[in-house]
Amino acid sequence: MTTLPDRDTVAEKLATLAEPDRSYIELLMQNPVQDDHLLEGLYRHLDIASGGRFLNSLKLEKLGEWLGNAAPARLQIRLMEVARSGQHAAYQAFRNGLSRSGGLQRAYPEV
């Protein structure tokens, strides 16, 4: 029996996003059972960034762009919901990167 990651672990992985962390997140995205844990960790990461003294908007944009490119189609709408759920600049930076990735358009192309 495997243990499911908690939101703080996922938030830490999203904050650093080094190569081993990317692999970890990609592994989470492969299993639909892990979707809620991934999104809870993303909310936690964005909340921590929102409350920090320094906002690294470039890093948040890169995170959004990477997630938009790496996430499967089933997660694209939920990622955009996370990005639109806050008015803070951290959420806006993440949303900008996510939009730039074009993941939502690839997952659900206009007919």
Dihedral pair phi/psi, residue 19, rounded to 5°: -55, -45
One-letter amino acid at 75 equals L
pLDDT band at 2 (very low <50, low <70, confident <90, very high): low
Which of these, 57, 50, 66, 83, lies nearest to 17 by C-alpha position?
66
pLDDT > 70: percent of the chain: 98
- What is the pTM (predicted TM-score) of this model? 0.93
Residue pLDDT, tens place only, 61-93: 999 999 999 999 999 999 999 999 999 999 999
Which of these, 45, 108, 16, lies nearest to 71 by C-alpha position?
108
